[in-house]
Structure 1
Amino acid sequence: MGVGVFRGDEQDVLGRFSGALAHAGSFDTVVRLTADNPAIDPAFIDTAVAHHLATGADYIHTSGLPLGTNLEVISAQALRRAHREATQPDEREHVTPYLRRHPELFRLETLALAVPPAVAALRLTVDYPSDYALLSLLFSHLGPGFSLTDPAGLPALLARHPWLAAINGANVQR
């Protein structure tokens, strides 16, 4: 298929990110998404990367979006430094805690984004079977890569079928 693959230490996710960055070639920016969050809106990725490039921040995380749809943008330089300096187990396992704990070393920013209130209240991550059920329904109705803000898409679907939010609404975040 021609898709590059990098495998690293199972417990050292920060090391895997740094290794993947080195393996991939010359990149200045990393967008961090996780596999259990399949409903990331591509438009918000573009917005976050544009903000990163415009501000020169080392680390940007989004806020204001449904659980499971926020993302992080990290400069390659900051990621490499975190890899060299992070020593705590949680800093190695979760990639960005070292950056967030050291605002004296890194330029950190929060990018506030907005979606309709009914969309913001959703849980769009996969930790439980009911999370998978909701996302499967949304993808089957809206297609892959659906927008969180397109008025004719998810907001309209929720207006027609408000019960969708109850499918996984009682789940506790792990």
Structure 2
Amino acid sequence: MTSPAPRIRTAGPDDVDALVDLVESAYRGQRSRGGWTHEADLLGGQRTDAAMVAAAVTRPDGVVLVAEDGTGIVACCQLERHDDHAYFGMFAVSPGRQGGGLGRELLAEAERYAREQWHAGELRMTVIVQREDLIAWYERRGYLRTGELSPFPYGDERFGVPLRPDLAFETLRKKLG
């Protein structure tokens, strides 16, 4: 049986708990291993918490988009508006729904939103450089590696507990329009 087509909408404060659960299930712990995009081999601890998600949902210069079907929220992403670009983050797809096109659909909607609502000319994101399979997925969708690296926030457990000493982020970008 196939899942119903998701509906994409803007998240609100009532969605915070479901979003925290979704993001945690997609990235950390044993549940995340049901999908292909997890970070469970790179990081332990939490990926996010209710305060961080609530801040994203209520941010005046941002939006959290969610995809939901008859079972609830099955994917999400965050967009932040900047002067010369939009930033894409907190991208999560329920492990059981990964690999079926839902992430690709939500990413395309985020690009459309940034371009049409904010007139953003570019979408940027940061990805852990060790996530080569994920970076390749973004490259297939037109994102370019920039070589711009930023350090992982070691010592700040709000973002997880690193399981290796060499983690860093690389900025990816895509021109919109």
TM-score (norm 1): 0.31
Structure whose residues are more often helix by fraction: 1
TM-score (norm 2): 0.31
Q: Select the structure of larger CA radius of gyration.
A: 1
Structure whose residues are more often strand by fraction: 2
